[in-house]
Amino acid sequence: MSNFEFKVKQKSKEEGCFARIAELKTPHGVIETPVFMPVGTRATVKAVEPRELEELHAQIILSNTYHCYLRPGDKLIAKAGGLHKFMNWNHPILTDSGGFQVFSLSKLNKITEDGVKFKSHLDGSEHYFTPEKSMEIQNNLGSDIIMAFDECSDYGVTKKYAISAMERTHRWLDRCHKYHKNTDKQCLFPIVQGNFFADLRLQSLKTIVPYATVGFSIGGLSVGEPKEKMYEMLDVLAPEYPEDKARYLMGVGSPDCLIEGVIRGIDMFDCVLPTRIARNGTAFTSTGKVVVKNGKYSEDFTTLDPECDCYACKNFTKAYLRHLFNVDEILGAQLLSIHNLRYLTHLMEQIKDAIRENRLLQFREEYLKKTGYK
Amino acid sequence: MSNFEFKVKQKSKEEGCFARIAELKTPHGVIETPVFMPVGTRATVKAVEPRELEELHAQIILSNTYHCYLRPGDKLIAKAGGLHKFMNWNHPILTDSGGFQVFSLSKLNKITEDGVKFKSHLDGSEHYFTPEKSMEIQNNLGSDIIMAFDECSDYGVTKKYAISAMERTHRWLDRCHKYHKNTDKQCLFPIVQGNFFADLRLQSLKTIVPYATVGFSIGGLSVGEPKEKMYEMLDVLAPEYPEDKARYLMGVGSPDCLIEGVIRGIDMFDCVLPTRIARNGTAFTSTGKVVVKNGKYSEDFTTLDPECDCYACKNFTKAYLRHLFNVDEILGAQLLSIHNLRYLTHLMEQIKDAIRENRLLQFREEYLKKTGYK
């Protein structure tokens, strides 16, 4: 029996709703999808302890290949026994390919058919990523799910450029596939590109699906475009996905996008948003965003979100959280990060309940009305 | 029966050792002494959650009157139901008087017999503390143990100045005592001053003891003097303390000083040191200080301190901790703060065992040798 399996357990019966509940088996445990994956960029989910991730029902986390490669280095992590041991997270881990960061974070990147030369955003040192190198690094990291090295084209590029980036992504995928031998322990997800051109997206999907053993990713969305543009692409793809593969929408994580994504057949999501806004003092709540720092909460002795069961909501008031942010205390970032992550894992639980009861479209309507998220 | 009681349970039988084990009863629970109190300056022990303080066996914490008065304000904390409720710590809390911070942190302080005018170190706003004001603030904070408002003179002042500060401290103590009515819920500790003059220290002790119901403090030490100077003063005082009162040495918290203090009859300690050095990447360990950031730990996959049972030591390696500090991740401060606090509560447990077995002097010798602390 394989270490990896994807099984759809239930499909929505609502018209125009592609949502489903499924199980994704990995060497470090089974994930129930749809799932939101907290991001642990540098082998740590910022300000959150691994035991707290368990407590808030995180099933799988994402870590970034580019960052781990630069510091502390993938070879060091391999020596430590892999990412799981290094960071003390004995549950599934997914890594990206490093491609997105090479293009967006690093300086003076120079792209050729072979790979990408770039300078570290930290110290300007020169590095070179190829599809093979990305596989090698991810093999060293030892994550359960690894991504193919792709070229993610920006929103607004010409169709000509989009085609060239997509085709390169496909050729690089083939090289990743050929290089990656550790298939027993690590599952390679190919990535759909094609920018914001419907025909390219469909062409890309068709090309990459044969490389998908248990799942694939949709890349190049949520890169600065209006949400409607993203939904448009997802609408084009939704009816065309193979049923028996997990679909991971990369870099998406606002609550409304999670719901819209699930309705459009997405199973997996990740985003730095919940922890990033937490460190700035903003919380998702069941009645909309709360900017905790705001002076109006200084004497608000009620809980942040009465519908939340997280450690922060069970034990502290808005007035206290506001104080922590007002005086710049680390505990504020800790508590709000826990809360925002729990908010999204809880949202996913609510979404799964709605799928089970064939009322996800209604849930979306009520949820958007109640929270004001859009 | 009073809400406050101090009972000596066992006294060291070693010659020249004034150590004892005792119980200090407060409205929020019984503390076994000798005890180290983690410092939660602004109503939070930096980077540590209250449940983690419980886990690492903190029995009581200290919070700072000056800081809480400025932000979020003692009146707000009173509205929240007091410090315990505000910060979600349902165990004993001790507050200082604000005096030390007024003299050391604030600008342009002007001292008269009535009180001290000072400017906030945050925004330069003008404030005025008197003994009565300090009591009023601490009454609002609702801490179990409160401190008399004192004038802490610097190391190196003339005897004339030391006398004047000491005598003012005594007059202010009387005013604190008269103002403080909430004796059922809050216990006032008078403070021994007298700078580094043995005769003044003894005179101060004699003067303040009648005001001590269950305990008193030794202030004005650990203010920049050589450790020997501090020990000299403690040696002068040790034989003269009343047996039946708790003795709290303010602001002292390095491991060696804790042992030396206990030997000299001290029951209570507090210090920001463990959490402050933790945030800078330095850990106390059973074999001496470890600067985790140090490059030599980058591939050290052993635990920080094999003799420690804290969450950090049970689950992470030095290499990982080093990585966290190297990339400036908050989790590093969290884990090391937990560790350093647990290190000191554990040290206190070892000290109590040594007292029970009349081998504290031997423990000191072995401990200093093993750790190199001095």
Task: List CB contacts (< 8 A) between B87 and chain A.
Answer: 320
Determine the residue of chain A that is closest to B323 in CA distance: A72
How high is the pLDDT of residue B108? 66
Please identify, among A240, A271, A302, the residue that sits at the C-terminal boundary of a domain: A271
Catalytic residue among A74, A96, A150, A267: A96
Is a pLDDT exceeding 90 seen at residue A171?
A: yes
Please identify, among B243, B271, B299, the residue that sits at the C-terminal boundary of a domain: B271
Query: Do residue B293 and residue B217 come from a single domain?
Result: no
**Which of A86, A298, A330 is the closest to B330 by Cβ?**
A330
Q: What is the pLDDT of residues B10-30, one digit of tens each?
A: 999 999 999 999 999 999 999
Q: What is the pLDDT of residues B289-342, one digit of tens each?
A: 999 999 999 999 999 999 999 999 999 999 999 999 999 999 999 999 999 999
Determine the residue of chain B that is closest to A316 in CA distance: B88
State the best of B53, B68, B311, B323 to mutate against chain A, taking most chain A CBs within 10 Å: B323
Query: Do residue B210 and residue B86 come from a single domain?
Result: yes
Query: Do residue B261 and residue B278 come from a single domain?
Result: no
Q: State which residues form the domain around B145.
A: 5-271
Mean pLDDT across A332-359: 98
Task: Give the separation between CA B27 and CA B143, rounded to whole angstroms.
Answer: 10
Interface of A with B (CB under 8 A): 42-44, 46-51, 71-72, 76, 79-81, 86-88, 298-299, 301, 311, 315-317, 319-320, 322-324, 326-327, 329-331, 333-335
Alpha helices in chain B (DSSP H): 50-55, 65-70, 74-79, 83-87, 99-104, 131-141, 159-179, 198-208, 227-237, 255-263, 273-279, 311-315, 318-326, 330-356, 360-371
The tokens for B301 are 């996959």
Catalytic residue among B74, B144, B150, B270: B270
DSSP track, B133-183: HHHHHHHHHT-SEEE-----PPTT--HHHHHHHHHHHHHHHHHHHHH---T
Determine the residue of chain B that is closest to A314 in CA distance: B88
**Cβ B82 vs Cβ B68: under 8 Å:** no
The minimum CA-CA distance between B319 and chain A, rounded to whole Å, is 8
How high is the pLDDT of residue B105? 80
**Which of A88, A316, A331 is the closest to B315 by Cβ?**
A88
* DSSP classification of residue B43: S
Chain-chain contact of B76 with A46 (C-beta, under 8 angstroms)? no
For residue B139, the domain's CATH number is: 3.20.20.105
- Radius of gyration (C-alpha) of chain A in whole angstroms: 20
Chain-chain contact of A72 with B323 (C-beta, under 8 angstroms)? yes
Task: Give the separation between CA B313 and CA B364, rounded to whole angstroms.
Answer: 24
Query: Do residue B242 and residue B334 come from a single domain?
Result: no
Task: List CB contacts (< 8 A) between B46 and chain A.
Answer: 329-331
Query: Do residue B303 and residue B281 come from a single domain?
Result: yes
Domain count, chain B: 2
**Which of B42, B298, B331 is the closest to A44 by Cβ?**
B331
H or E element that contains A330: helix A330-356
Please identify, among A228, A251, A271, the residue that sits at the C-terminal boundary of a domain: A271
Indicate if A270 belongs to the active site. Answer: yes
Indicate if A184 belongs to the active site. Answer: no
Query: Do residue B158 and residue B10 come from a single domain?
Result: yes
The minimum CA-CA distance between B316 and chain A, rounded to whole Å, is 7
Strand partners, B7: B23
Query: Do residue B80 and residue B211 come from a single domain?
Result: yes
How high is the pLDDT of residue A3? 95
The minimum CA-CA distance between A85 and chain B, rounded to whole Å, is 9
pLDDT tier at A247, thresholds 50, 70, 90: very high
Chain-chain contact of B331 with A71 (C-beta, under 8 angstroms)? no
Task: Give the separation between CA B60 and CA B39, rounded to whole angstroms.
Answer: 9
Query: Do residue B37 and residue B114 come from a single domain?
Result: yes
**Which of A46, A50, A298 is the closest to B76 by Cβ?**
A298
**Cβ A276 vs Cβ A342: under 8 Å:** no
Query: Do residue B36 and residue B176 come from a single domain?
Result: yes
Strand partners, B270: B37
The tokens for A143 are 């994550």
Task: List CB contacts (< 8 A) between B334 and chain A.
Answer: 47, 49, 330, 334
Mean pLDDT across B267-288: 98
Q: How far apart are the first and last CA of chain B?
A: 43
How high is the pLDDT of residue A185? 98
How high is the pLDDT of residue A356? 98
Q: What is the pLDDT of residues B92-126, one digit of tens each?
A: 999 999 999 988 887 767 899 999 999 998 998 99
Chain-chain contact of A330 with B331 (C-beta, under 8 angstroms)? no
Strand partners, A291: A282
How high is the pLDDT of residue A108? 66
Is a pLDDT exceeding 80 seen at residue A359?
A: yes
Mean pLDDT across A1-20: 96
How high is the pLDDT of residue B374? 82
Q: What is the pLDDT of residues A40-54, one digit of tens each?
A: 999 999 999 999 999
Q: What is the pLDDT of residues B119-175, one digit of tens each?
A: 998 998 999 999 999 999 999 999 999 999 999 999 999 999 999 999 999 999 999
User: Looking at the whole model, is its pTM more than 0.95?
Assistant: yes
Q: What is the pLDDT of residues A294-330, one digit of tens each?
A: 999 999 999 999 999 999 999 999 999 999 999 999 9
Query: Do residue B205 and residue B75 come from a single domain?
Result: yes
Mean pLDDT across A120-125: 90
Query: Do residue A45 and residue A152 come from a single domain?
Result: yes
Query: Do residue B117 and residue B229 come from a single domain?
Result: yes
